[in-house]
Structure 1
């Protein structure tokens, strides 16, 4: 078994090398100035708190761990509860509030006072540069891309494969009016066929006033990159959406840091925070929060209800697939935090969020 894993590892690494060498050169659509709100120099973005880079030996040890450590209970032994959604289901929703549907992992569909918005849409079977290898979905999306109504806005938090899906964007580009993306990600979208006039790029703390309210891009502690040589060439962050009546926060990916408190002070309180809770590990603790830190981030943001995301769809770490849910429930009870855990595909209203539903225990 060990030999087989090593052979598979070599094949995957060689395949990745071939793939990445042939990546399109990123289009310089909007040149990035040195005077960005996010730390930026030598054509790379940085976190406000400097990360300790992994040494070659650390990286090698992580690869060895990835291909040799026995994973336990990292994929579900139950059928993930899924509510299928039709276009008719969406069209009959009222236009006087904000509706929300968890599509899987961190993909969210919103109906914002009649407008359809998507956040980090990933509809592919795998969160990977390939569809023959890499993390495979535990469940199908509640609705097909082709069945979606015309989309007003697609919001992207960063360019990792489990948040920016090339195949999904290539389908969405024809039915989407506007793409809101971090600085540098516009190059990827243009290469994939999105018309430049549809794309708006964001720096940290940059705001956009829309017909339905305010959208702002706020800092996180993470990184970016889709291949060899493009590490941190594009920005990463979180999204704030404030309508006249509601206020929500979408974390993207992040380690725990003081920026959540800054965002809470500037834009809080939030009726709902959608916080990354999953794919954590001690080997990368500075870029992905443990569930206990996710709850603390919600408190820092002055959130009223927390919805854990970034879980239940892909195997991206070494912990059990249900560990994020088990730990976030325990910590929320300890900290007196209100959780909402709707099943994938369940349509919920921001004014009537369902209570904690432990569907992962079935």
Structure 2
């Protein structure tokens, strides 16, 4: 009998006794969902051939005196003198690396964007390492006390570098999880409170207004390479926070498109914009990478269209995946080059992984 109880308890912990997730779908009167009629999958608002406001064509990665690197543009730290924008929004932004952020809001809530500590979920992580692929250094990670005080976790899409099941289990089921449509079935089981949201839908956590907004990207979560049965079955989002008259925008993975102008027209000028600047180039398929990832100059153009009061870039760094980039910090070098060449007016504030700024 004792052995039976032990065996039953172990089986319960591993399988069916895990609490089921609580999943709900939030819609608003202005919600938008775009479906590809051919296969019933999601698609971007603005499809077809693109044009870009600015494109760097030569000498795009000159060395910069404020970026100190051990070798080339690898293992770098940005050490430039920066003027902190005096915005008085009440938000504090801490960059954990790649696309992961901890945000403290003006009235005391704490939220996570795309928290990923390690490289990939098992067993893909092991397979990737054994195949000789780039093995990512773990990024910064919130302390246990910080994780206990998280109110909400927001994911932009299901790609491995933005969504990790093991990290969800370490965060726990206390926070509310907010995702694009269709993404909840990728979660582990464990009593997680998950809200799926289409573009232009809105929800609240106390007085924190959370808006799901469009991005220009795609989705897939592949176990076997080059088999994409789940391609675009889940949506991809950006997120816009509003509280006490201040706004913060997290673009998620996205290419440049008219959706940035749409967001500004709907919500007004944005105070803080967290913008991706990496993974935009591949010698095998350069057009596709840029189609779904902003170059540094695309991000600067988008920030101007959003009327951002400050732009904080992400995607580069010592804990980045370096997908489609020349090096860990090549995207930052290109940004530092293009901000002068374009005479960009949006103020930048550049963080190293683990750093924070109160704005």
| TM over 0.5, shorter chain | yes
- Alpha-carbon deviation of 1:181? 0.4
- Alpha-carbon deviation of 1:147? 6.2
Q: Tell me, what secondary structure is at the counterpart of 1:261?
A: helix
CA RMSD of aligned residues (A): 3.0
**What does residue 45 of structure 1 align with?**
42
**What does residue 85 of structure 2 align with?**
none
Distance 2:73 2:196 in 1: 37
Distance 1:105 1:76 in 2: 16
Check the 8 A contact 1:102/1:344 in 2, yes or no: yes
Check the 8 A contact 1:252/1:276 in 2, yes or no: yes
Instruction: Give the structure with the higher percent helix.
Output: 1
Could you tell me the TM-score, scaled by structure 2's length? 0.72
More relative contact order in 1 or in 2 (CA 8 Å, sep 6+)?
2
**What does residue 163 of structure 1 align with?**
162
Change in Cα spacing, 1:165 to 1:80, as seen in structure 2 (3 Å) is farther
**What does residue 353 of structure 1 align with?**
none
Check the 8 A contact 1:278/1:324 in 2, yes or no: yes
**What does residue 216 of structure 1 align with?**
211
Check the 8 A contact 2:278/2:296 in 1, yes or no: yes
Q: Deviations over 1:47-81 (max 9, x none)?
A: 122357xxxxxxxxxxxxxxxxxxxx999543658
Check the 8 A contact 2:78/2:350 in 1, yes or no: no
Change in Cα spacing, 1:275 to 1:128, as seen in structure 2 (3 Å) is farther
Q: 1:117 aligns with which of 111, 119, 128?
A: 111
Distance 2:355 2:315 in 1: 17
Change in Cα spacing, 1:317 to 1:349, as seen in structure 2 (3 Å) is same
Distance 2:159 2:108 in 1: 29
Q: Tell me, what secondary structure is at the counterpart of 1:136?
A: coil
Check the 8 A contact 1:329/1:339 in 2, yes or no: no
Count of residues in Structure 1 that have an aligned counterpart in Structure 2 = 286
Could you tell me the TM-score, scaled by structure 1's length? 0.71
Which consecutive residues of structure 1, in runs of 5 or more, have no partner in the other structure? Answer: 1-26, 53-72, 83-95, 351-362
Q: How does 1:1-362 map to 2 (within 5 A)?
A: 37-40=32-35, 41=37, 42-51=39-48, 77-78=74-75, 97-112=90-105, 113-126=107-120, 130-132=124-126, 133=128, 134-138=133-137, 140-144=139-143, 148-174=147-173, 176-189=174-187, 192-195=188-191, 198-227=193-222, 228-281=228-281, 282-284=286-288, 285-312=290-317, 313-333=320-340, 334-350=343-359
- Alpha-carbon deviation of 1:344? 1.6
Distance 2:305 2:190 in 1: 36
Distance 1:36 1:349 in 2: 32
